[in-house]
Amino acid sequence: MVTFTRRRLAAVALVATTALLGATACAGGDDEAAAGGPVTLTVDVFGQFGYDELYKEYMASHPDVKIVERGTGSNLDEYSPKLTQWLAAGKGAGDIVAIEEGLLVEYKANPQNFVNLLDHGAADLKGNFLDWKWNQGLTADGKQLIGLGTDVGGMAMCYRKDLFAKAGLPTDREAVSKLWPTWPDYIKVGEQFTAKKTGASFLDAATNTFNTILLQTAGNTTGYSYYDTGDKLVVDSNPAVRQAYDTTMDIIDSGLSGRYGSWSEEWVSAFKQSKFATIACPAWMTGVIEGNAGPGAKGKWDIAQVPGNGGNWGGSFLAVPKQGKHQAEAIELAKFLTSAKGQIGAFKAKGPLPSSPQALADPAIVDSTNAYFSTAPVGRIFAEGAKSLKPVYMGPKNQAVRTEVENAVRSVELGKRSPEQGWADAVGNAKKAAAK
Amino acid sequence: MAVQLDARPPVAPAPGTTRPSRGVRLSRFDTRYSPYLYIAPFFLLFGVFGIYPLAYTFWVSLHDWDLLGADHPFVGLDNYSELLADPDFWHSVVNTLGIFVISTVPQLLLALWLANLLNRRLRARTTWRMAVLIPNVTSTAAVAIVFAVLFGRDFGMINWLLDHVGVDAIDWKANRLASWVAISAMVDWRWTGYNALIFLAAMQAIPRDLYESAAIDGAGRARQFWSITVPLLKPTIIFAVIISTIGGLQLFTEPRLFNSGTNAIRGGPLRESQTVTMYMFENAFAPHYNFGYGSAIAWLLFALIAVVAAVNVLLLRRLGGGARKEDPR
């Protein structure tokens, strides 16, 4: 009797402890290969960074390093919440993480999450980057460097030669550039195009064009968009925002937009089915167009100058989170990937335009052409603009505010709001978002 | 070699020893407490994965909690009062309830009807029964993507079919009611068969002789269904309704994937099909990263589910009261 009871007690105790252990076991156990053996570095990216060849080269010269890339092809909307959660949780992020410029401002507000690259000899690299790109990577007090610049988003206008021909418009890129020195000219060309009823719209979606016009107008006038340089929300008082909005309303009003919400599945289908003739394209967009329109449309696309006067949209940075276990190795790799050589390699692979003046001046970039875009001299088109770019300052809640304004534009585009109602929405919701 | 490892040869008991009484005590301890230990694993797991997150979420909701921020000041119930006055939140509540009603009511009726069909004598009965479960086995993401394509404005099959019968193209994503219908279609496709099988299982437990005597009394199939099947199915129907309420009010994947492109989490430029969970995600994560506010939404959603489930059960009790009245007690 006694023994039986003991055995049962033992069984009970065993079950209970197993359950406890089971519940807590998942908590520990990630110190894989703490010392010795090759170091695995994880690089978190979104979209296409074009680093595959560079990894191979780096691993060949550093046999003790193994590189794994995560997130290739994922969009920024999926990537950034994940990254934020990793940073908030204190674990999970890659050894190197890519950060888009619009989001960098938010991460900069909490610099304690990242390694200060200035403590690791990054100051010597300043000359490798365009001044403004370097400065964007610094915190407000200039004491911490969060990220090293990768690409910049010099602008152009990509267009379909075949659709232009169908509408009786010139197809040569020089001639097309001359058609639209300004946005009102672009609208006029659009109206001519629309009148010919080719079955395609003139442009994909108003929001893409709105962003282009805003960043361009802001770059050429105030130097900031939704926030002034004192981080005060100026959506309703910055003339650049209102001007960009009004121009976009004219485009919508003229019926030029195909209303394919950017990055949606319909947008991707519209590329494949040749449903629009032009799209505002920052340098990184060329890779997106090629991916969406597919090999069937090779040679049908070309690149002309953007209406208005140059501008910058997008561009990213590489940062090293403090939670990483191999910070020293990660910093070395980040330096390599953002070096002039690394940036040239990425450009050749997937088209992101370098932020390094040395790379921008390199014949490998300047003389490069893009076969997909009718062998357009992409290097010259984008690189020239990039050197004279005027960057736009972005405030702390830039992403949230931009979301509100973009959605207001989209609601007008879809006929759900009048332009005036849309503007009221944009301003009201932007204020609400900024306060959250 | 069947050796009793833990049974030692009896040591000569010392006179007047306490040993037997210790055994008795152990055994008493055993009968009294070991059942608690046996069920402890569930409660431990429930505590770790159920209660703790719930309590922690409440704790977070009392703070101004920037997901990335270094400190999180205590703000009391500010998040809740702000939320109750937030038109976007109520907008998402209306969306959720709208989608819930449009999807759940036809879904359960259809499931009941399907179960009734499956309960008859059919050729290849098992095959049919398995077949209704197939939609439930497919991944939600795949279903949502396929439906999002079917309901496309320009290239979607539904609009193409509508065009053939002379109906103008519907912008399924930009029209609030249309988007509810499209999302409900997805939910129904996925869950009708599942509920049908639950109903079927309950139907099979109904004694055959009830139907036989009803048939002798001259009751037709429809009369049998409404007077025998439905009343006896009431507990199962209540179960299915509660499960559907919980699932329906937490709807996330379908509407999230139905809306693609930038800020899909908004459910369209004017939040046409944004559910409460999507609104929670929008606030707790991108683009606001306001964890405190998001947690407050989570708690209000919890309250909402409790209220709606209670209302549903009360309504059902009242509606299907027939069986109770016949109860002699």
The tens digit of pLDDT for each residue in B148-206 reads 889 988 888 999 999 999 888 898 988 999 999 999 999 999 999 999 999 999 999 99
Q: Does the CB of A314 have a partner CB in chain B at under 8 Å?
A: no
Find which of A17, A26, A82, A106 to mutate to test the B interface (most B CBs within 10 Å of its CB).
A106
pLDDT, chain A, mean: 89
List pLDDT tens digits, range A67-125: 999 988 788 888 988 999 999 889 999 999 999 998 898 898 889 999 999 999 999 99
Give the per-residue pLDDT at A47.
Answer: 83
pLDDT, chain B, mean: 87
Rounded CA-CA distance A19/B43 in Å is: 10
Mean of pLDDT values over A390-415: 91
Residue from A318, A372, A379, A322 nearest A347 by CA: A379
Q: Which DSSP string corresponds to A349-401?
A: HH-PEE--HHHHHSHHHHT--BTTTTTB-HHHHHHHHHHT----B--TTHHHH
State the smallest CA–CA distance between residue A24 and chain B in angstroms: 9
Alpha helix (H) ranges present in B250-290? 253-258, 276-284
State the smallest CA–CA distance between residue B188 and chain A in angstroms: 23
- Is the pLDDT at A2 greater than 60? The verdict is no
Mean of pLDDT values over A334-357: 93
Give the per-residue pLDDT at B20.
Answer: 58
- The beta-carbon neighbor of B288 closest among A77, A267, A400 is A400
Of A138-147, B20-29, B34-43, least confident by mean pLDDT is B20-29
Please count the helices (runs of H) and the strands (runs of E) in chain A.
Answer: 19, 11
Q: Does the CB of B142 have a partner CB in chain A at under 8 Å?
A: no
Residue B262 with chain A: CB contacts under 8 Å: 77, 207, 261-264, 403, 406
- The beta-carbon neighbor of B262 closest among A262, A275, A414 is A262
Q: How many CB pairs under 8 A join A and B?
A: 136
Q: Does the CB of A407 have a partner CB in chain B at under 8 Å?
A: yes
Of A334-338, B4-8, B308-312, B325-329, highest mean pLDDT: A334-338
Q: Is A231 left (phi over 0), alpha (psi -120 to 50) or beta?
A: left
Q: Does the CB of B252 have a partner CB in chain A at under 8 Å?
A: no
Q: Does the CB of B285 have a partner CB in chain A at under 8 Å?
A: yes
Percent of chain A exceeding pLDDT 90 equals 69
- The beta-carbon neighbor of A9 closest among B30, B40, B45 is B30
| Residue A267 to residue B7, Cβ atoms within 8 A | no
Token pair for residue B166? 């002379």
Higher pLDDT, B22 or B53: B53
- The beta-carbon neighbor of B30 closest among A5, A84, A107 is A5
Residue A13 pLDDT level (bands cut at 50, 70, 90): low
Q: How many CB atoms lie within 10 A of CB A94?
A: 23
State the smallest CA–CA distance between residue A301 and chain B in angstroms: 22
Phi and psi at residue B278, to the nearest 5°:
-65, -40
State the smallest CA–CA distance between residue A380 and chain B in angstroms: 30
Q: How many CB atoms lie within 10 A of CB A91?
A: 12
Secondary structure (3-state) at A138: strand
Token pair for residue A296? 């069937």
Residue from B231, B253, B257, B234 nearest B322 by CA: B231
A79-108 residues touching B, CB cutoff 8 A = 80-81, 84-85, 87-88, 106-107
Q: Is B94 left (phi over 0), alpha (psi -120 to 50) or beta?
A: alpha
Find out whether the peptide bond into A357 is cis, omega within 30 degrees of 0: no
Residue B153 with chain A: CB contacts under 8 Å: 266
Helix axes A419-435, A239-253, angle to 10 degrees: 140
Provide the strand spans (E) within A80-199. 96-100, 147-149, 151-152, 155-160
| Residue B285 to residue A81, Cβ atoms within 8 A | yes
Kindly identify which residue of chain B lies nearest to residue A106, measuring between CA atoms.
B68
Higher pLDDT, A329 or A29: A329
- Is the pLDDT at A273 greater than 50? The verdict is yes
| Residue B26 to residue A110, Cβ atoms within 8 A | no
* Residue type (1 letter), A352: P
- The sign of the CA dihedral A318, A319, A320, A323 is negative
Q: How many CB atoms lie within 10 A of CB A212?
A: 27
Give the per-residue pLDDT at B19.
Answer: 54
- Is the pLDDT at A25 greater than 80? The verdict is no
Rounded CA-CA distance A153/B48 in Å is: 47
Mean of pLDDT values over A52-76: 92
- Cα angle: B26, vertex B27, B30; to 5 degrees: 90
Kindly identify which residue of chain A lies nearest to residue B288, measuring between CA atoms.
A400
Helix axes B291-319, B52-61, angle to 10 degrees: 120
Provide the strand spans (E) within chain B. none
Q: Give residue for tokens 């590329």.
A: A271
Rounded CA-CA distance A172/A150 in Å is: 32
- Is the pLDDT at A390 greater than 90? The verdict is no
Of A26-30, A147-151, B145-149, highest mean pLDDT: A147-151
- Cα angle: A345, vertex A351, A355; to 5 degrees: 70
List pLDDT tens digits, range B63-117: 999 888 878 999 999 999 999 999 999 999 999 999 999 999 999 999 999 999 8
Give the per-residue pLDDT at B98.
Answer: 96
Rounded CA-CA distance A44/B132 in Å is: 42
Give the per-residue pLDDT at A11.
Answer: 52
State the smallest CA–CA distance between residue B27 and chain A in angstroms: 6
Residue A88 with chain B: CB contacts under 8 Å: 67-68, 291
Q: Does the CB of A25 have a partner CB in chain B at under 8 Å?
A: no
Give the per-residue pLDDT at A278.
Answer: 97
Residue B8 pLDDT level (bands cut at 50, 70, 90): low
Kindly identify which residue of chain A lies nearest to residue B36, measuring between CA atoms.
A12
Token pair for residue B260? 């693609």
List pLDDT tens digits, range A216-270: 999 989 999 999 999 999 999 999 999 999 999 999 999 999 999 888 888 999 9
The alpha carbon torsion through B252, B253, B258, B263 (nearest 10 deg) reads 70
| Residue A7 to residue B6, Cβ atoms within 8 A | yes
Q: Does the CB of B73 have a partner CB in chain A at under 8 Å?
A: no
